[in-house]
Amino acid sequence: MPHAAPGRLRSVVTGLGCYLPKRIVSNADLEKCLDTTDEWIVQRTGIRQRHVAAEDEPTSQLALLAAKAALADAGIAAADLDLVIVATSTPDYTFPAVAVQVQAGLGMTNGVAFDLQAVCSGFVFAVATADKFLTSGSHRRALVVGAETFSRLLDWSDRSTCVLFGDGAGAIVLEARPGQGTASDRGVLTSHLRSDGRHREKLYVDGGPSTTRSVGHLRMAGREVFRHAVGMVADVVTDAFSATGTTAADLDWFVPHQANKRIIEASAEKLAIAPEKVVCTVDLHANTSAASVPLALSVARDDGRIKPGDLVMIEAMGGGFTWGSALIRW
């Protein structure tokens, strides 16, 4: 009798949810207070509007509402989770972590909760991290959240950065389930993370508890970031294809970090991913950093594009630099 292929655990997406603050700021709104135009913003970035959190709406609140939506979608209770990871660069406080506030907000007293900071790549890094916990067998169900209030970090007099970002949160539930160890399995099939700290000056915040003792403002050499983005994204996506024996033709959906429509289109073109497979929500949300990928997943799942069994590539690149990809069979 031939042996069955040795199985392995997979981290399967069982729930997805998001939350966007009610206030929408359009490009036309920004034209009233900045030397900018809707035409410039749309042409250079694809952004048409962004959501901005209310003063009394901290990142943990956005994260908690997205988390509750994801749990309801998965049809499980908070007590069924044993791991919570929140990817954010805009925590309510220096500490404790947003993740423990989400844990408490969900009424969850078991398991472990912590934040992960990889700026715009945070959600991809958090998915990869949760996957390691789940597939090692140490944990069974993870909540992975990307949540940001970047509006709080912006220098609203700097037109080269403040038009680019928005606030929001998205979350998924991952559950360890047995798979065959093949690319036909449901779940996270592979993940590839990279960083290179030599690029820190190209995208950073000029404040923090151990330097200025304040929050600081986001600073970016946009053209420099742009110059590196496409190549870095292409590298980690290619790594994911190589590791799984898949190609761009096998993909159902490409769900990239939503920073700039031109970066998204150039990355897809370099990777030979057909334009109709590309999920682009930067027009609606602007760049929400760690929240951008789960927000885009939510839009594409809710409008019927992403369906169970689909092959979905997520990727991101951001401050650090950090960059990464994960290939998921939905």
> Which residues form the interface with ligand UT7 (CB under 6 A)?
36, 40-41, 44-45, 120, 159-160, 163, 222-223, 225-226, 229, 259-260, 263, 287, 318
First to last CA, the chain: 33
Of 257, 260, 280, 285, the catalytic one is 257
Taking the complex as a whole, the smallest distance from the CB of residue 263 to ligand UT7 amounts, in Å, to 5
Cα dihedral 203→209→215→221 (10° resolution): -10
Q: How far, in Å, are 70, 80, 209 from residue 89 at the CA level?
A: 21, 27, 13
Q: Which residue is nearest to ligand UT7 (CB)?
A: 222
CB of 64 or CB of 218, closer to ligand UT7 = 218
CB of 40 or CB of 114, closer to ligand UT7 = 40
Of 18, 27, 51, 120, the catalytic one is 120
Task: Examine the residue annotation and report whether 51 is marked as an active-site residue of this protein.
Answer: no
Taking the complex as a whole, the smallest distance from the CB of residue 163 to ligand UT7 amounts, in Å, to 4
Looking at this protein, which amino acid is placed at residue 173? V
CB 126 within 8 A of CB 68: no
Task: Examine the residue annotation and report whether 120 is marked as an active-site residue of this protein.
Answer: yes
Counting every residue written for the chain, the total comes to 330
CB of 67 or CB of 229, closer to ligand UT7 = 229
310: β partners:
none
Identify the helix (H) or strand (E) that includes residue 303: none
Q: How far, in Å, are 91, 157, 195, 252 from residue 218 at the CA level?
A: 15, 12, 19, 35
Taking the complex as a whole, the smallest distance from the CB of residue 122 to ligand UT7 amounts, in Å, to 11
CB of 63 or CB of 225, closer to ligand UT7 = 225
CB of 160 or CB of 180, closer to ligand UT7 = 160
Task: Examine the residue annotation and report whether 257 is marked as an active-site residue of this protein.
Answer: yes
CB of 62 or CB of 67, closer to ligand UT7 = 62
CB of 68 or CB of 159, closer to ligand UT7 = 159
Residue that has been written with the tokens 């036909």 in this structure: 184
Taking the complex as a whole, the smallest distance from the CB of residue 31 to ligand UT7 amounts, in Å, to 9
Cα dihedral 305→307→313→318 (10° resolution): 60
CA distance 153 to 218: 6
CB 44 within 8 A of CB 222: no
Alpha helices in 199-327 (DSSP H): 222-244, 261-270, 282-285, 292-302
Taking the complex as a whole, the smallest distance from the CB of residue 12 to ligand UT7 amounts, in Å, to 28
Q: How far, in Å, are 1, 12, 78, 185, 240 from residue 247 at the CA level?
A: 33, 21, 37, 16, 9
Q: How far, in Å, are 21, 44, 49, 303 from residue 30 at the CA level?
A: 18, 15, 10, 29
Taking the complex as a whole, the smallest distance from the CB of residue 321 to ligand UT7 amounts, in Å, to 9
Taking the complex as a whole, the smallest distance from the CB of residue 292 to ligand UT7 amounts, in Å, to 8
Enumerate the active-site residues.
Answer: 120, 257, 287
